[in-house]
Amino acid sequence: MKLPFRLSIGRQHIPILATLAVLILVFAFGAIRHGDRNFASLYNIVSLFRGGAVIGIAAIGSTFIILSKGIDLSVGAVIALTTTIIAVLVSPQLGPGWHPAVVIPIALVIGTLFGTAQGCLIHFFELPPFLVTLAGMFLARGLAFSVHPQNIAIEHDAFHAMQSIGIPLGRSDVPLAVIVLLVFYAIAMFVSRYTNFGREVYTIGGDEPSARLMGVNIGRVKIGVYALGGLTAALAGVIATIDRGDGSPSEFVGYELDAIAAVVIGGTLLTGGVGFMIGTLLGVLILGLIRLIIDNEGTLSSWWTNISAGALLFGFILLQTVLVRLAKRSG
């Protein structure tokens, strides 16, 4: 039988295979241990995707940024800013009361502009990404609070309609959040592997001086990944607003860390240039599964989530360090 594509497994696939193995193992553990509670039910799996949708969408941008050897610490704050802006703009009492069809694109544009500005500072003034996006985090959080200081519940028919969208699958519905998550991962996977932009991101992350010599427009790609990061963070904010039905300037603290953790657990090197988009989705699912198992245990408290996420992070970092060293040794 001939496959339409080459199926070869090389060393570059080891981290992602490890991620997949961990996902399967964690799922199997949950399914066996909590089989009496229908752990492996379709409903549970859909809710797993749903729970990971916001971080998952934001992590798309983080993956591109990390592949280009950067980092984005502003994700959580941009999500909070987006939800607040949407909630204020659709509210007739607090804002102009515009229709979500107008407001959502505005929110996406604001997020993209925010990311673009960060990218420009990083590229034109050669500032460390870490510091720029840190300032971006403070700025976005502060802006969110100055837009409106408290949570705003959204009462809008269009939002109720979007909340009830669902593709029936078995006895459960696949909600809008999951559809958007899957569609955008499909797009992101395509962009990262089959477009010039995607290849250039890998090239810059792998070796920037070489990329420049090869004629890659460094500025365009660098600013592009941060713009993309702003866009996906804003999109995550839109999904969060629809899913939760409110705008919340104080929430989503630490989402940037979860996104980075998902990227690393998904097998992408934080040193840039190596990794797969799908790995990040697997990473998000692993983190969600751990949370689900800990919830199901009942006796285990929520802080075990942090500890096990840290342990997983450590395991994958160690695995990658070993692999990178092996690769160097064999030349």
What is the rounded distance in angstroms from the CA atom of residue 210 to the CA atom of residue 223? 18
286: CB partners within 8 A, 6+ apart = 19, 22, 23, 26, 262, 265, 312
Helices (H) then strands (E): counts for the chain: 13, 4
3-state SS assignment for residue 319: helix
Q: Which stretch binds other proteins (CB under 8 A): 20-28, 49-57, 100-108, 259-267?
A: 259-267
Binding status of residue 261 toward other proteins by CB under 8 A: yes
DSSP 158: H
Binding status of residue 283 toward other proteins by CB under 8 A: no
Q: Which stretch binds other proteins (CB under 8 A): 57-65, 86-94, 188-196, 297-305?
A: 297-305
Among 35, 92, 149, 170, binds other proteins (CB under 8 A): 149
- 153: enclosing H helix or E strand: strand 152-153
Binding status of residue 194 toward other proteins by CB under 8 A: no
In whole angstroms, the minimum distance from the beta carbon of 124 to other proteins comes to 7
Binding status of residue 138 toward other proteins by CB under 8 A: yes
Whether residue 80 contacts residue 236, with contact meaning beta carbons closer than 8 Å, is answered with no
Whether residue 231 contacts residue 108, with contact meaning beta carbons closer than 8 Å, is answered with yes
Number of residues that bind other proteins (CB under 8 A): 46
Among 303, 328, 329, 330, binds other proteins (CB under 8 A): 303
Whether residue 140 contacts residue 82, with contact meaning beta carbons closer than 8 Å, is answered with no
Please give the residue ranges that form the binding site for other proteins (CB under 8 A): 71, 121, 124-128, 130-132, 134-139, 141-143, 145-146, 149, 249-250, 253, 257, 260-261, 264, 270-271, 301-307, 309-311, 313-314, 317-318, 321
